[in-house]
A and B are shown apart, each in its own frame.
Chain A
Amino acid sequence: MENILILTKRFSIPNANQLEVALKHGAYSSLEKLFSMKPEDVVEEVKKSNLKGRGGAGFPTGLKWSFIPKDTKKPIYLCVNADESEPGTFTDRYIMEYDPHLLIEGIINTSYAIKSHTAYIYIRGEYVKQYQILSRALEEARKAGYVGKNILGSGYDLDIWLHRGAGAYICGEETGLIESLEGKKGQPRIKPPFPAVEGLFRSPTIVNNVKTIASVPWIVLNGGEAYAKIGTKDSTGTNIFGVSGHVNQPGYWELPFGMRFLEFLEKYPKGVKGGKLKALIPGGSSTPVLTAEECEDLYLSYESMLAHKTFLGTGGMIVMNEHTDMVKALKTLTRFYSEESCGQCTPCREGTSWLDRLLDRILNREATTKELDLLIEISDNMEGKTICALAAACAMPVRSFVTKFRSDFEKYVKPISIPVHKVAEKIIQKEPIAS
């Protein structure tokens, strides 16, 4: 099972990003079967596969597709989320770079299933090389009749357009992405209405991540049940797991879900570099951090992560060794989230930057023990009180870092026992805390 490759199967073939080479190795082979099926049946197969969205939230893909109103008179849109900006996450870019035709094939499959005739690939602005490769691949696919009018004589029309972002993490959030595509600031919309009902240009829209969409051709070719047999019961299929931080060999590997984390860590990234394992961020920076002890019985699956009160997220892991200063590590994350907050909701705009300023105070040794509690209190007041999940994405690492690695933080602070709201007042009024 370990060597089943669905997303990276052509990665090792030289020039597989060119149509001629990709075709020799099976690109677009799902289309004949796809066009022999009814769109509803494709949705059913994806439901059977139990494919979950790989962008981080892990929502069942087939179920999301089925939320499109059956009787809509409006055009239906597909938005491919290629904005990949969650710290620790870097694998979508390789699908676009090494096998853009797999993504295009996935887009054709997905668009057909949801009865869309226009798809947009929203790619983060920094990925210039990937934009150029995708652009060329789309041109090849258009010329060869895989994209455009009456694809392969099926009677099905599909336009695919590339749309380049301009440097904003929030545009990876599905409604932020839609706003940005419409030519606005990427400020998320209140849900409901969900994009499947009212999304891009106020029409039904499905937003799916690159890896999610790239998994669909295999499901169409081999059937949802075959896909559901790979991995574990609740985490079916494969994912590309990326590892960065203190490991001997950072990189990415496609594996079925379910491997024990410590076995994975030794076998693929070749173990922790520079000392013992101290902490793991399992799926992008927003997922709560785990201690080395918690990693003992951790498995690479949605359910094992949930059992550890964290998330599989994007599968982008960050490993930290025993010499890591968790306060400095967290500071890079609070800075990230305070920089990237779109500013729309007060708890997020104020909360992320307040947390970041508190981290500065701690690092400057100006803070007291009570401010560690304040970090938690602010986090509790951010989560679930905003339009999108960015506030929670900041609150979760803060809370988990401070509670699980409190001794790291205590090295920086002076013990003091005044009530936490007094501390907050003093900080706001810029008074010395100890008086």
Chain B
Amino acid sequence: MAVKFSEEALKEYEEITTHYPDRKATLLPALWIAQREFGYISKEVMEYVAELVGVPFVRVYEVVEFYTMYHKKKPGRYHLQLCQTLSCYLAGAEEIRKYIEEKLNLKPGETSEDGLFSFQLMECLGSCHTAPVVQINDDYYENLTVEKFDAIIQDLKKHN
């Protein structure tokens, strides 16, 4: 299957190009659309985006490598991003980490065999007063305890 944006995504992208005097500035927005369209940024996707934006492949590659939120491999259906910086650490983020490592049997960077969960450690999610915090896909889950987190995981499993 050749990599290509859907017609709707292409239209959305072309509208975004009108926001900037230089098309190269659309690289980050283009990658966001690509991630939504294809789930992650493969080499083929990078090549497609490079052509779309009009920059060399290597520019796309270094940008994808630089930013943590672009997935270079397919994440789980639920991507668990645990904040481990100071406020979350003080509030018990390590307990949540143990839960993920032991109960879900996931090390940072791994995806569960059934593809349901993937796990990534994060540096400061900007939610220090509601620590500890886990971002799951687009949503923040705040003021976590192991019990609360367990209930969230069970609920996600049930809804799958």
B-facing mask of A86-129, CB < 8 A → 1, else 0?
Answer: 11111001000000000000000000000000001000111111
Which of B67, B68, B84, B124 has the most chain A CB atoms closer than 10 A to its own CB? Answer: B124
**Minimum Cβ distance to chain B for residue A198 (Å):** 15
> Which of B4-12, B28-36, B95-103, B152-160 binds A?
B28-36
* With A89-B128, A90-B127, A183-B27: A167-B63 Cβ-Cβ less than 8 Å: no
Residue of B nearest to A243 (CB): B129
Distance between Cα atoms of A29 and B148 in the complex (Å)? 44
Distance between Cα atoms of A245 and B85 in the complex (Å)? 11
User: Which residues from B are CB-within-8-Å of A73?
Assistant: none
Partner of B128, one of A87, A124, A185: A87
B126 within 8 A of A: yes
Distance between Cα atoms of A163 and B20 in the complex (Å)? 10
Distance between Cα atoms of A126 and B66 in the complex (Å)? 15
Distance between Cα atoms of A281 and B25 in the complex (Å)? 36
Give B113-151 interface residues, CB cut-off 8 Å to A. 123-131, 135, 138-140
User: Which residues from A are CB-within-8-Å of B28?
Assistant: 163-166, 180, 183
A340 within 8 A of B: yes
User: Which residues from B are CB-within-8-Å of A285?
Assistant: 85-86, 124
**Minimum Cβ distance to chain A for residue B145 (Å):** 15
* With A168-B68, A201-B21: A88-B89 Cβ-Cβ less than 8 Å: no
A333 within 8 A of B: yes
Distance between Cα atoms of A127 and B87 in the complex (Å)? 18
Which of A93, A183, A336 has the most chain B CB atoms closer than 10 A to its own CB? Answer: A183
> Which of A10-18, A47-55, A316-324, A404-412 binds B?
A316-324
A366 within 8 A of B: no
Contact A320 B90 (CB under 8 A): yes
Distance between Cα atoms of A41 and B85 in the complex (Å)? 43
Distance between Cα atoms of A85 and B90 in the complex (Å)? 18
Residue of A nearest to B67 (CB): A166
B43 within 8 A of A: no
* With A166-B68, A182-B24, A183-B63: A329-B90 Cβ-Cβ less than 8 Å: yes
Contact A252 B124 (CB under 8 A): no
Give A55-88 interface residues, CB cut-off 8 Å to B. 75, 84-88
User: Which residues from B are CB-within-8-Å of A336?
Assistant: 85-86, 123-124
